[in-house]
């Protein structure tokens, strides 16, 4: 009987070992992934100061996200807080660094989605809201709607005491120089996707849109399913690039749908989504994370500002 007991103990412990072996430490407890826009830039051509400015800006967001996630913050709160840091940074094409439309005005778009309940909020064409992502979150939390645009969105921002700025706040020297010169584009839409400790996924995207866009034009970034999507059962996704193509293929949801209906893994689903953009002649990229903390970056431009930080590894930053 004693022998049998020991045998059982040995068998059980070896079984535990196998289970541990089959699921090595790879799966992180939480994870944050960010992008700062895709485009045809080559980072080796950046001067040293510019290179490190981008590098450190991405790192700052990853470390903030990591520290919030480590103390148990929820994915939806982390994507919002991290997007705010990006929006306040003039390097990127969102918030403070937003690009101008063809009239020389700023029209900002943003969206956010909570994968735990499929709730979403978005704003488009706002001109005086310092942090459009905060307003998008407020639309999600405090209305029965998903998207508010233009003057209506701004009135709602005032009502909710969200920080309002003069349109001139967005006039950074860099963007105005580009507007008045031959260089008429700027990359730097931002996106954040997160897996938290509780298995929740969330996504946020914020942009000034495409430089010299037509007055009133809305791209993919504030459109749920096109530029942003999150579903706890599959993945959280944020896109960047030529928005019209991402709208036409519903890129962010396209990725999730491939996982959901075609049983693809996140890598194949992301490849498939970008392939469909490319097939139409579009360019851009995306970031995504699944419920296991698998991270993907895909783009068909020369580069994309990107990075991730998992609970069990150092930050990875590339562009
Ligand atoms: N997707 C954004 C838009 O079309 C722009 C970008 O990501 O660069 O508005």
pLDDT tens for 292-305 read 999 999 999 999 99
Q: Ligand 1 pocket test: which of 207, 283, 286, 300 has the largest number of ligand atoms within 8 Å of its C-beta?
A: 207
What is the mean predicted confidence (pLDDT) over 54-65? 98
CB-based contacts of 44: which residues, under 8 Å, 6+ apart?
A: none
Q: What is the CA radius of gyration of the chain?
A: 21
d(CA 244, CA 226): 9
Residue 189 is a catalytic residue = yes
49/184: higher pLDDT: 49
**Residue ranges around ligand 1 (CB below 6 Å):** 37, 187, 189, 207, 209-210, 219-221, 240-241, 243
pLDDT band at 13 (very low <50, low <70, confident <90, very high): very low
187/111: higher pLDDT: 111
The pLDDT of residue 2:
55
The atom number, within ligand 1, closest to the CA of 93 reads 8
Cα 186 to averaged position of ligand 1 atoms, centre (Å):
10
Domains of the chain, residue spans: 28-94+171-212+219-313
> Minimal CA–CA distance to 284: which of 267, 259, 303, 265?
303
d(CA 59, CA 237): 20
d(CA 97, CA 88): 8
pLDDT band at 182 (very low <50, low <70, confident <90, very high): confident
Q: Is the pLDDT of residue 8 over 80?
A: no
Cα 161 to averaged position of ligand 1 atoms, centre (Å):
28
The pLDDT of residue 12:
46
Cα 241 to averaged position of ligand 1 atoms, centre (Å):
5
d(CA 194, CA 72): 12
CATH topology for 28-94+171-212+219-313 is 3.60.20
pLDDT band at 26 (very low <50, low <70, confident <90, very high): confident
> What are 238-255's pLDDT values in tens digits?
999 999 999 999 999 999
pLDDT band at 3 (very low <50, low <70, confident <90, very high): low
DSSP string over 8-54: HHHHHHHHHHHHHHHS-TTS-S-EEEEEEEEES--GGGS-HHHHHHH
Cα 184 to averaged position of ligand 1 atoms, centre (Å):
14
The pLDDT of residue 20:
36
| Enclosing H/E stretch for 160 | none
């Amino acid at each position: 009987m004693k022998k049998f007991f020991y045998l059982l103990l040995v068998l059980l412990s070896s079984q535990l070992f196998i289970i541990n072996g089959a699921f090595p430490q790879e799966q992180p407890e939480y994870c944050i992934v960010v992008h700062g826009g895709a485009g045809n830039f080559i980072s080796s051509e950046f001067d040293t100061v510019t290179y490190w400015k981008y590098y450190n800006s991405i790192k700052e967001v990853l470390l903030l996200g990591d520290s919030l996630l480590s103390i148990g913050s929820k994915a939806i709160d982390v994507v919002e807080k991290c997007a705010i840091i990006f929006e306040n940074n003039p390097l990127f094409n969102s918030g403070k660094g937003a690009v101008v439309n063809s009239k020389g005005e700023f029209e900002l778009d943003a969206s956010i989605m909570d994968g735990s309940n499929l709730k979403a909020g978005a704003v488009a064409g706002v001109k005086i809201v310092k942090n459009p992502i905060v307003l998008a979150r407020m639309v999600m939390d405090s209305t029965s709607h998903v998207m508010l645009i233009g003057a209506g969105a701004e009135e709602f921002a005032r009502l909710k005491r969200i920080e309002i700025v003069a349109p001139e706040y967005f006039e950074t020297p860099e963007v105005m120089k580009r507007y008045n010169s031959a260089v008429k584009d700027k990359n730097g839409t931002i996106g954040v996707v997160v897996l938290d400790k509780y298995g929740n996924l969330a996504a946020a995207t914020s942009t000034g849109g495409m430089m010299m866009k037509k007055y009133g034009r809305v791209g993919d970034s504030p459109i749920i399913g096109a530029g942003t999507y999150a579903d706890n059962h599959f993945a959280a996704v944020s896109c960047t690039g030529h928005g019209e193509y991402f709208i036409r293929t519903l890129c962010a949801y396209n990725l999730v749908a491939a996982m959901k209906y075609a049983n693809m893994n996140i890598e194949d689903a992301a490849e498939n989504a970008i392939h469909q953009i490319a097939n139409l002649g579009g360019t851009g990229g995306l970031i995504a994370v699944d419920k296991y903390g698998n991270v993907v970056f895909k783009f068909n431009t020369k580069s994309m500002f990107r990075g991730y930080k998992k609970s069990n590894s150092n930050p990875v930053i590339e562009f």
